[in-house]
Amino acid sequence: MSSGARKLLDDAYALEEADRAIVSAELSEGVEDPDEVRNAWVKVAVERLERHERGEAGQTQSLDEVEAALRDSIKER
pLDDT tens column, 31-56:
777 788 788 889 999 998 999 899 99
What is the extent of the structural domain holding 44? 33-77
Do 24 and 52 belong together in one domain?
no
| Rounded distance between C-alpha atoms, residue 33 and residue 37, angstroms | 7
| Rounded distance between C-alpha atoms, residue 23 and residue 27, angstroms | 6
58: confidence class by pLDDT, cuts 50, 70, 90: confident
Domains of the chain: total? 2
pTM (predicted TM-score)? 0.44
Do 24 and 37 belong together in one domain?
no
Do 47 and 77 belong together in one domain?
yes
pLDDT at residue 7, rounded to an integer: 93
Do 1 and 22 belong together in one domain?
yes
65: confidence class by pLDDT, cuts 50, 70, 90: very high
DSSP 8-class letter at 59? S
E strands along 1-77, which residues? none
